[in-house]
Structure 1
């Protein structure tokens, strides 16, 4: 039982840090209505930048901020390709993601991974000061950063600029007719989203004590799965702050499910398949439900219509 509790604590702490990435995916996927494929690359970029700077002796907090800024730059590249050059958003994200693989290798001196196991980080600071375990320290740091991120996002999206950004995803033509520069709104949204993704990658690097050029592979799927879980649990919520919290809770639940199924004997390599199935089911079930509902309504109309079954209407001659 103690082993299970330790696994769940680790899952919650990891879920909190990964939820920063989920918030970034929420901004692009739900608010901007853009499938941003930059996520996988910018997540790894944040981790690689953080690891390289920490090895060079840079303060870990500064290294994490630099990782977040690098993620924002990656988002800006995708945004420019999409808005200025007219490249479809999904293709622009793929182009940026592919290029980041080579860039991340260059950042880490052509090494596929780097260890920061013996270097002090923002997480080991709490381990040393308060004599916490690695999972407990990660939980403290993750909780603080997530609360700060949600507070800033809630404030920003309540401003005129933030409201314009949200409206761009809801009805781009209408908001453009009102004089809003939708290209700038998309660009800003992609930058903010990938800042969060890069920060998540940097903190994961500090938590796991290593960075890898492939550490972001499948991040977009984890993000979507977490959002779907959050929507299933809090689908009726209208408050924007609660929607952000729902994504975070969805991410934590995802990692708790992951910890449980791994303890039940499922291979770690199969987790991405499980994530993909969760997202696919969540996207397919509403469509199937809508088709079933439409078919049911059509049959009811057909049964109520006297013409459809050949019954003569009143006054009609056979």
Structure 2
């Protein structure tokens, strides 16, 4: 792996770190298995890219993408709480609907913004190569967001949200509006995914309808890696573990795909990711948010 590939892996690791953090919020904090992520990731990219091409300020486009992702989470929570649709099925329904919505937003399968102004534009031309600039900007944004999320989860309302995921009946007995905390938690989770999609589009120069395929599995793999490697004592450390786990995961994938002796190709990425998550599921004692869901199914 050369320097450019290594920095690219860090850049992707940081972006997908937001997705790992979203998986942490939905699966770990709320105990809500959420597959909406596969739709809200391209949603954020589609909204951001379309607005940039239409002449809107890139920062405004990023904020709107963040809010659009949050709305998709609200829809999933609404289907679950209002109509009593199983949370997993509700998220699948929203994900399927978002495929058509994303096509409507872009008007075509992909939108190129490589020649448009992005949040990177003000920092370009300062003598710093793009393969350094992108990871630095991504790191600043991602770690600021991570600190805000950690602070929120340690607040009184964050504790109420954590109580909702831990034991809804007990939370309601303590006067917590569990429906409200679920709405807010799902909105925040998918808003982070929408933000990740917006960053992905601007740093790679395009938005495509297919970029969301397998996103939830990548997020799970990053979460598992973070919890296995780093200490998760304290909410701040748990949040940072999601980010660092994603970076480690992307570097490991990059090394594997660039190892000629293994014979892997870029098209094998989803296969490697699926194998990693499968191993984590079957290993005794491995921490995985899907294990609880599997036990329920049995």
TM norm. shorter chain > 0.5: yes
Specify the alignment match of 1:215 in structure 2: 211
Q: Deviations over 1:62-101 (max 9, x none)?
A: 1111111100010010011111111111111000000000
Specify the alignment match of 1:304 in structure 2: none
Is 1:118 the equivalent of 2:115?
yes
State the shift of 1:237 in Å: 3.1
Specify the alignment match of 2:30 in structure 1: 32
The answer to whether the 8 Å contact 2:52/2:116 transfers is yes
Q: Deviations over 1:27-72 (max 9, x none)?
A: 0011111110100100000000000000001111111111111000
Specify the alignment match of 2:61 in structure 1: 63
The answer to whether the 8 Å contact 2:217/2:273 transfers is yes
Structure 1: tracts of 5 or more residues without a match: 290-318
Is 1:251 the equivalent of 2:261?
no
Specify the alignment match of 1:282 in structure 2: 280
Q: Where do residues 218-233 of structure 1 align in structure 2 (5 Å cutoff)?
A: 218-233=214-229
The answer to whether the 8 Å contact 2:280/2:286 transfers is no
State the shift of 1:133 in Å: 2.1
Question: Partners in 2 of 1:82 and 1:50 — Cα distance?
Answer: 28
Specify the alignment match of 1:198 in structure 2: 194
Moved more, 111-120 or 147-156: 147-156
Return the TM-score normalized by structure 2: 0.92
Is 1:107 the equivalent of 2:102?
no
- Runs (4 or more) in structure 1 with deviation over 4 Å come to none
State the shift of 1:127 in Å: 2.2
Is 1:127 the equivalent of 2:124?
yes
Specify the alignment match of 1:296 in structure 2: none
Question: Partners in 1 of 2:35 and 2:55 — Cα distance?
Answer: 32
Question: Partners in 2 of 1:207 and 1:215 — Cα distance?
Answer: 14
Question: Partners in 2 of 1:285 and 1:48 — Cα distance?
Answer: 38
Structure whose alpha-carbon radius of gyration is higher: 1
Question: Partners in 2 of 1:288 and 1:147 — Cα distance?
Answer: 26
Question: Partners in 2 of 1:192 and 1:16 — Cα distance?
Answer: 18
Structure 2: tracts of 5 or more residues without a match: 288-298
State the shift of 1:125 in Å: 2.7
Specify the alignment match of 2:75 in structure 1: 77
